[in-house]
């Protein structure tokens, strides 16, 4: 097996990709939307669920003699070629930071890492399994999925369409029963059965019960809603869901869950990436993970409007015009602070980032703004004081009341093991929060 490991938000010379040339040709300069349609699983769902990840974003973008990566981390494969995109804070052997983000935001088990070898495609499969509780919980916020199902009966209370062939076959000689079928609105449908089969499959894994404990209430509802579950019907249910994908926009969360369940259950019979789906893998949006992680650190001090959840929307202008979703708005309205989470190196924060944050500050009468980003080099906070005056009058000078600060959370680059890394991260988090104490 040929394996290349690269990092997010970096540039790598194209000649480094020689050993995985076939895979590189399949993914270079392709958008995430294209890769998703070819079988790559992308978390969170494109466009709808994430403000920082878009369909036209590329995982490997050509830049002269190099390929440039963005905020995406994960694993891709094609044939016997593998590409692992780690966080730029990865140590010599383990990507503890990426694992830590997954654990804090998605409650992933600690055994997850992106290391792969010829006999460990199971790593990718584990990613899919560990995502199941998150997708199940998100989908079932809409309630149990209900759709019309055609049931077949054979009794004397005819309420639907008579099935003549089946009636002759089963009711000869006639004894008062009639074979018929009827469409009924039911929870016990192909999609709910698919979810049930996935639950039962995960239960048989050594860590399965611990994984499902996080969504025990949702699992209970699914089990109660699928009395027709039969273990041997799995392949029939899989085929039915492949043909009958969810189409209604209201149930888009169930569409994502349906796709995840299909990937999990089909992997049992076929190695991931076999058959018609040649490119395979799973990609995570580092910007989304970072924002959700930062929110968990400062949610007692800041409101957190969420674009993907359409929660906490703000408006720039009266008349309900100018919809905006600032990342963080301080709860203290006397000394208002606006903060923006950026999963970027400090030198890449500029241009439109400045304009966006200053517009939010102006909207909320805030004199103080922050960029919250991950930092590994021990760089001190960078304070930027807004100018006043004009070069035409040669009277440009910094104001003393409007300031934007680039405030980094120090990420430990060297740790003996994951436990040591977590301990160092706790110390970094305490120092990071001191700015808002």
Per-residue three-class SS string for 177-229: CEEEEEEEEECCCHHHHHHHHHHHHHHCCCCHHHHHHCCHHHHHHHHHHCCCC
pLDDT at residue 276 in the model = 45
The whole-angstrom separation of Cα 51 and Cα 47 is 7
Checking if the pLDDT of 124 tops 80, the result is no
Q: At what angle do helices 252-267 and 122-139 cross, to 10 degrees?
A: 150
pLDDT at 275: 45
Kindly report, residue by residue over 55-77, the tens digit of the pLDDT.
Answer: 557 889 998 899 999 999 988 88
Query: Residue 108: its pLDDT value, please?
Result: 82
Rounded Cα–Cα distance for residues 187 and 97 (Å): 41
Please state the pTM of the whole predicted model. 0.81
pLDDT digits (tens, 9 = 90+) for 15-25: 999 999 999 99
Cβ atoms 6, 27 nearer than 8 A: no
Residue 262, both tokens: 């299909």
Handedness of CA 414, 343, 338, 397 (dihedral sign): positive
CA–CA separation, 154 and 152 (whole Å): 7
Give residue limits of the domains in the chain: 1-121+271-286, 147-186, 299-436
Report the mean per-residue pLDDT for the chain.
85
Q: How many CB atoms lie within 10 A of CB 73?
A: 29
Is residue 163 within 8 A of residue 171, CB to CB? The reply is: no
Give the distance, in angstroms, between the CA of residue 67 and the centroid of all CA atoms in the same chain: 24
What is the pLDDT at residue 115? Answer: 43
CA distance 46 to 55: 6
The pLDDT of residue 308 is: 57
Tell me the range of 83-97, 173-187, 298-312, 335-349 where mean pLDDT is highest: 335-349
Range ranked top by mean pLDDT from 75-84, 104-113, 152-161, 230-239: 230-239
| Residue at token pair 């899989």 | 238
Question: What is the percent of the chain where pLDDT is above 70?
Answer: 90
Asked whether the beta carbons of 369 and 340 are under 8 A apart, the reply is yes
The pLDDT value given to residue 97: 92
% of the chain residues with pLDDT over 90:
46
């Amino acid at each position: 097996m040929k394996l290349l490991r690269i990092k997010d938000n970096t540039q790598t010379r194209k000649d480094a990709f020689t050993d995985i040339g076939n895979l590189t040709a399949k993914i270079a300069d392709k958008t995430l939307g294209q890769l998703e349609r070819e079988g790559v699983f992308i978390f969170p769902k494109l466009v709808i669920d994430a403000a920082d990840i878009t369909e036209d974003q590329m995982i490997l973008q050509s830049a002269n003699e190099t390929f440039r990566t963005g905020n995406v981390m994960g694993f891709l494969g094609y044939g016997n070629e593998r590409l692992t995109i780690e966080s730029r804070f990865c140590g010599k052997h383990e990507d503890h930071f990426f694992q830590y983000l997954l654990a804090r935001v998605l409650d992933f088990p600690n055994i997850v890492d992106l290391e792969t070898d010829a006999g460990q495609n199971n790593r990718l499969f584990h990613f899919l399994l560990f995502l199941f509780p998150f997708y199940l919980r998100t989908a079932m916020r809409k309630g149990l999925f209900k759709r019309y199902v055609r049931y077949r009966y054979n009794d004397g209370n005819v309420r639907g369409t008579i099935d003549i062939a089946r009636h002759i076959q089963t009711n000869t000689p006639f004894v008062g029963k009639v074979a018929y079928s009827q469409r009924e609105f039911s929870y016990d449908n192909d999609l709910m059965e698919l979810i049930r089969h996935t639950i039962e499959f995960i239960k048989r894994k050594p860590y399965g019960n611990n994984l499902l404990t996080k969504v025990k209430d949702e699992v209970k509802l699914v089990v109660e809603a699928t009395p027709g579950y039969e273990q041997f019907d799995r392949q029939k249910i899989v085929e039915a869901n492949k043909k009958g994908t969810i189409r209604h926009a209201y149930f888009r969360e169930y569409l994502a869950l349906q796709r995840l369940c299909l990937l999990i259950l089909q992997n049992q019979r076929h190695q991931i990436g076999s058959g018609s789906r040649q490119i395979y893998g799973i990609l995570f949006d580092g910007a989304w993970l970072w924002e959700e992680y930062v929110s968990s650190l400062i949610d007692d001090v800041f409101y957190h409007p969420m674009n993907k959840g359409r929660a906490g929307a703000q408006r720039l202008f009266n008349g309900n015009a100018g919809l905006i979703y600032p990342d963080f708005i301080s709860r203290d309205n006397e000394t208002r602070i606006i903060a923006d989470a950026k999963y970027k190196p400090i030198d890449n924060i500029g241009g439109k980032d400045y304009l966006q944050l200053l517009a939010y500050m102006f909207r909320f009468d805030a004199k103080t703004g922050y960029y919250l980003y991950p930092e590994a080099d021990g760089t001190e906070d960078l304070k930027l004081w807004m100018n006043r005056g004009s070069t035409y009058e040669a009277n440009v000078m910094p104001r003393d009341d409007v300031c934007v600060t680039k405030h980094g959370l120090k990420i430990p680059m060297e740790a003996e093991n994951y436990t040591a890394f977590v301990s160092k991260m706790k110390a970094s988090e305490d120092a990071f929060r001191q700015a808002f104490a």
